[in-house]
Amino acid sequence: MIFADWNAVVEQVRWKNWVVLDKAGLLSVAVGDVTVELTCRDVGGRRRLIVASLIGELARIAPQTVIALNAEVWIGSFVGLRDKLALRTMLSFGRFDADDLEEAITEVARAAQLARAQLRQPAPRADWAERFAD
């Protein structure tokens, strides 16, 4: 079944027993220890489902770290949202089914968990480049 609107997504998420919090226009889904949020917005002239997970404070994360993390993401990309770093992907209504929805939610959760784990690791020493110089 191809999802045509927000209500169909809400019903699918409820059927899967994923819902943690259901506010008007926002679903928060627990996947392991990661919370993934779903909302519906018009983007680029098309109604889209946005699947996102907050990663951390943007001010504490170096841009090169985000670029390196982005290379490991299969679905979606990292974006800055109001001083926070988030991983998000968008699905166009009328073009995705239950399998695509589940894949987007679980992959965003997996990548968010990986990113958080890597950001908790200590930063490399400042002289790391000198050790590899010719």
Q: What is the pLDDT of residues 62-117, one digit of tens each?
A: 778 888 887 878 788 888 888 888 999 999 999 999 999 999 999 999 999 988 88
Tell me if 119 sits within 8 A of 78, measured CB to CB: no
State the pTM of this model.
0.81
- Find the mean pLDDT for residues 34-52: 93
The closest alpha carbon to 14, from 72, 101, 86, belongs to: 101
As a CATH number, domain 6-122 is 3.30.1460.10
Contacts of residue 9, Cβ cutoff 8 Å, sequence gap at least 6: 3, 27, 38, 40, 49, 101
Distances (CA, A) of 61 to 85, 93, 101, 111: 8, 33, 29, 16
Give the 3-state secondary structure of residue 50.
Answer: strand
- Find the mean pLDDT for residues 15-34: 85
Q: Which residue has the higher pLDDT, 30 or 124?
A: 30
Dist CA 18 CA 48 (whole Å): 20
Q: Which residue has the tokens 């490399």?
A: 124
